Structure 1
Amino acid sequence: MKVWLVFFFVVFLASLVYASYKSYRKNRSSDEFMLAGSNIGAILGFLTFSAALFSAFTFMGMPDFFRVHGVGAWIFLGLSDALMVFFLLWFGYSLRRRAAQVGYKGVAGFVQNCFQNKWAGYLVFLSSFLFLIPYVAIQIRGISIFLNAAFPDFLPYWGWSGLLVVLMLVYSEIGGLKAIMYSDAIQGVILLVVIWIIGLTCLKMAGGLEAGTEAVLASNSELLSLPGPKGLFSSPFLIASAIAIVMIPVSQPQFTTRLVVMKDLKSVHKMAYAVGIFAILVILPTAFIGLYGAVTYPESSTADFLSSALLFDQAEAVGALAVVGLFAACLSTTNAQIFALGTELRSLLKGDEKKSMRITQIGILVFSIIVLVFSSVISDELVLLARVSFAGTSMIAPVVLGAVLFQKPPKSLLVISAFALGYFVLSLIGWVPAGFAGLPTDAAMYLILIPTTALVMGIHYFTQKKVHEA
């Protein structure tokens, strides 16, 4: 396997070097560095959006999620992503139209300009910082678990994590957002190919879909029904998850920025359709791997199951490609999200452009160090941690939607989102009750957030309409 590992890593690293070379320009502007020149076509846009959306947590977390919690995992992610695609078609159009009017350097700065209120930008940046840091740490944690279990004598856990962070910093510094998008494209292709090879192999080793399903039915029939053996997939959980995932393009800046930097609206629409197809193609084989795990490794730990199913039970070439694929997925996702935090910081800075860029680069370094530390203390529940990130950032969705929908958005949306975000964070650290009215925290907050936001926006719309008519 070592020969295959060396071969695939050399090919992958060579492709990164070429991508950074193609992306580098000596005298580039900050917009070219941070926003890729805002001229991204449909194919690259689809691959970078998909790769940022389906990353190491999909490759590793979803198979384990299927194995532990059952078929409800498909509803949790597959159906929610399909709904998000339809939302993308409207939101992409509305966002780009508004960004053309007020300018765009990042979501935080965009919102700040729309509300004409500095606290609006700070609120968006705070949300991104609080929940993207753990999300990036999930990626590093996941790949480090896998690599440390697969190669215990090669590098310590912190060594794998440190290597990823260093590569991420060097690559993003050289190539900027354009290079990260090329990295995403490479990772997306590798991810799709590898996960299907492994998925079909695991399905065959499980005895096929029918035989594997019968084996799961005999051993733990609750895996094949809702709410699953651990009762996770309740209606409130699934509905709240769908809302959080649909709001990803609104509340997670790495996705919002990718919509803005597309070269035209037609490219955005093509990208959205392609992302929907990619979602189905990439999630389906994770169910096959999870089925195999439920049959063969029902009591194993996450690390043991993943290292066995993705590496040791595969042919040497496939196992080696899986290692490189996971490494690529983790690298591109950490790149995209840490860089997104840098973009958000830069969008809030005023004054000299060179000074702002220096502060942004220092900020990216600091964010990376925080991620490295956080990844050493985070748990192994990769998918559930990712869901917390989606739910947490969705609390500021009313602010972003208000900025997109209204020329002069109502300031009360800032209060609504600040309250929702504050309560959600405090519930995570146990300072306020985690959920109420028999609902989990995010579902309970949506029950308040959605009708309140709709009411505020409705009143504001008709008030502004009367003012214009008068």
Structure 2
Amino acid sequence: MTGWLIFFFALFLASLGYASYKSYSKNRSSDDFMLAGSNIGTILGFLTFSAALFSAFTFMGMPDFFRIHGVGAWIFLGLSDALMVFFLIWFGYKLRKRASEVGYKGVAGFIQSCFRNKWAGYLIFLSSFLFLIPYVAIQIRGISIFLNAAFPDLIPYWGWSAILVVIMLIYSEIGGLKAIMYSDAIQGVILLVVIWIIGVTCLNMAGGLDSALEKVAESNAGLLSLPGPKGLFSSPFLIASAIAIVMIPVSQPQFTTRLVVMKNLKSVHKMAYAVGIFAILVILPTAFIGLYGAVQYPESSTADFLSAALLFDQANPVAALAVVGLFAACLSTTNAQIFALGTELRSLLSGSDKRNMRITQLAILVFSLIVLVFSTYMSDELVLLARVSFAGTSMIAPVVLGAVLFKNPPKSLLIVSAIALAYFVLSLLELVPAGFAGLPTDAAMYCILIPVTAILMIAHHFTQKTTHDA
């Protein structure tokens, strides 16, 4: 397999080098570097959005999630992503319209301008920092688990993480957001091809779909129904998960920015439809791999199952392509999210363009080192950790929605989101009860946050209307 690995890695690294070369410009402005010139077409936009959305946690986490918790994983992610596509069409229109009025250099700066309040921008940046850093660490953790299990005597676990971070830094510092988008496009194509090859192969090794389902029904019937053998997929869990995932374009800046930098609104709409199709295509084969795991490796650890299903049980070319595909997926997503944090910081800075660029590039380095440290302390529950990130950032969704809906958004939304974010973080630290009224924390917070936000927005709408009429 070594020869195939060298071949595929050489192709991948050569494509990254070409993309960074095409993206590099000696005299580029910070807008060119951070926002890719705001002229992204449909195909590149769809691939970069999809690749950032479906990453190493999809490739590795979802098969393991199916294996352990059952078919409810499809409802958890597949249905939620479909709902998000419909929301994208409306939100993309409102966001771009508002961004054209106040300008856009990042979500934090955009919110700061809309609310005319510096603390609003700081709240957005804090939320992004608190939950994107662990999310990026999940990606690095996932690929390091796989590579360390696949090549246990080659280099230490932390060595894989360090290599990934170094490549990520070099690539993003040279090419900026445009280069990251090209990397996303490459990764998206690799991910889709590899996961289908492995999915079909695993399904055949399990004896076909009907045979696999029969074997699972005999050994662990709970995997084929809700709420799953461990009771995870309860109604509150699924509803809260759907809300958190639908809010991803609002609350996760790497996605919000991708909506703004698209060439026009028509491109955004086409991109949204394509993302929906991609979501179905990329999640379905993870179910096949998960079924295979439930049949062949029901008691294995995450690392043992993934290294077997994705590597050792595959033909050498497929196994080598899987390694490269996973590496590409991890690199693409970590690049996008670390760079997004840099974009958020830069949007809050004032001063010369050159000075802001230096500070931003230094910040990206610091964020990367923090991620490297965090990745050594993450657990192996990749999907559940990703869900925590989605839920945490969704606590500030009222602020972003208020900014795109109103010319003078109500300041009360800042207070509501700040309290919700603080409680969610404190619950993770076990300083306050994790959930109440029999509901998990995120579901309980949504039961409060959604109606309170709706009341504040409706009241503000009529107050503004009355004031204007007067």
Above 0.5 in TM-score? yes
Question: Identity of counterpart residues, as a percentage?
Answer: 85
CA distance in 2, matches of 1:449, 1:20: 43
Q: 1:11: Cα distance to partner?
A: 0.2
CA distance in 2, matches of 1:358, 1:31: 13
Contact 2:29-2:353 within 8 A present in 1 as well:
no
Q: 1:163 is matched with which residue?
A: 163
Q: 1:353: Cα distance to partner?
A: 1.4
Q: 1:440 is matched with which residue?
A: 440
CA distance in 1, matches of 2:109, 2:19: 29
CA deviations 1:233-259 (Å, max 9, x no partner) are: 000000000000000000000000000
Q: CA-atom RMSD, angstroms?
A: 0.3
CA distance in 2, matches of 1:67, 1:289: 8
CA distance in 2, matches of 1:156, 1:10: 22
1:223 aligns with 2:228: no
Q: 1:15 is matched with which residue?
A: 15
Structure 1 segments (4+ residues) deviating >3 Å: none
Q: 1:293: Cα distance to partner?
A: 0.1
Q: 2:198 is matched with which residue?
A: 198
Q: 1:357: Cα distance to partner?
A: 1.0
> How do 1:208-219 and structure 2 match up within 5 A?
208-219=208-219
Q: 1:348: Cα distance to partner?
A: 0.3
Q: 1:321 is matched with which residue?
A: 321
CA distance in 2, matches of 1:367, 1:22: 26
- AA paired with 1:338? I
CA deviations 1:204-240 (Å, max 9, x no partner) are: 0000000000000000000000000000000000000
Q: 1:253 is matched with which residue?
A: 253
CA distance in 2, matches of 1:170, 1:268: 30
- AA paired with 2:173? E
CA distance in 2, matches of 1:397, 1:203: 40
What SS is found at the alignment partner of 1:378?
A: coil
Q: 1:138 is matched with which residue?
A: 138
1:176 aligns with 2:176: yes
Q: 1:110 is matched with which residue?
A: 110
What SS is found at the alignment partner of 1:152?
A: coil
- AA paired with 1:425? V
Q: 1:368 is matched with which residue?
A: 368
- AA paired with 1:174? I
CA deviations 1:131-165 (Å, max 9, x no partner) are: 00000000000000000000011111110000000
1:338 aligns with 2:338: yes
- AA paired with 2:444? A
CA distance in 1, matches of 2:363, 2:6: 34
Q: 2:74 is matched with which residue?
A: 74
CA distance in 2, matches of 1:378, 1:297: 23
CA distance in 1, matches of 2:351, 2:38: 22
- AA paired with 2:356? S
CA distance in 1, matches of 2:442, 2:420: 9
Q: 1:382 is matched with which residue?
A: 382
CA distance in 2, matches of 1:140, 1:190: 18
CA distance in 2, matches of 1:150, 1:257: 36
CA deviations 1:340-372 (Å, max 9, x no partner) are: 000000000011111111111111111000000
- AA paired with 2:336? A
What SS is found at the alignment partner of 1:233?
A: coil
Q: 1:404: Cα distance to partner?
A: 0.4
Question: When the two structures are aligned, how many residues end up with a matched partner?
Answer: 470
CA distance in 2, matches of 1:367, 1:86: 33
CA distance in 2, matches of 1:447, 1:357: 41
Q: 1:467: Cα distance to partner?
A: 1.1
CA distance in 1, matches of 2:365, 2:307: 31
1:122 aligns with 2:128: no
CA distance in 1, matches of 2:102, 2:236: 38
CA distance in 2, matches of 1:24, 1:426: 42
CA distance in 1, matches of 2:256, 2:343: 11
CA deviations 1:67-107 (Å, max 9, x no partner) are: 00000000000000000000000000000000000000000
Contact 2:227-2:233 within 8 A present in 1 as well:
yes
CA deviations 1:27-70 (Å, max 9, x no partner) are: 01110000000000000000000000000000000000000000
Contact 2:56-2:326 within 8 A present in 1 as well:
yes
- AA paired with 1:210? D
CA distance in 2, matches of 1:376, 1:22: 34
Q: 2:414 is matched with which residue?
A: 414
What SS is found at the alignment partner of 2:228?
A: coil
Consecutive unaligned residues in structure 2, runs of 5 or more: none
What SS is found at the alignment partner of 1:347?
A: helix
Q: 2:459 is matched with which residue?
A: 459
Contact 2:108-2:125 within 8 A present in 1 as well:
yes
CA distance in 1, matches of 2:469, 2:204: 67
1:268 aligns with 2:254: no
Q: 2:234 is matched with which residue?
A: 234
What SS is found at the alignment partner of 1:450?
A: helix
- AA paired with 1:336? A
- AA paired with 1:376? T
CA distance in 2, matches of 1:222, 1:30: 53
Q: 1:466: Cα distance to partner?
A: 1.1
CA deviations 1:271-294 (Å, max 9, x no partner) are: 000000000000000000000000
Q: 1:38 is matched with which residue?
A: 38
What SS is found at the alignment partner of 1:432?
A: coil
CA distance in 2, matches of 1:179, 1:358: 18
CA distance in 2, matches of 1:23, 1:176: 7
CA distance in 2, matches of 1:44, 1:359: 28
CA distance in 2, matches of 1:320, 1:298: 25
CA distance in 2, matches of 1:72, 1:218: 18
What SS is found at the alignment partner of 1:28?
A: coil
1:304 aligns with 2:304: yes
CA distance in 1, matches of 2:467, 2:430: 45
CA distance in 1, matches of 2:241, 2:74: 12
CA distance in 2, matches of 1:287, 1:74: 8
What SS is found at the alignment partner of 1:257?
A: helix
- TM-score, normalised with respect to structure 2: 1.00
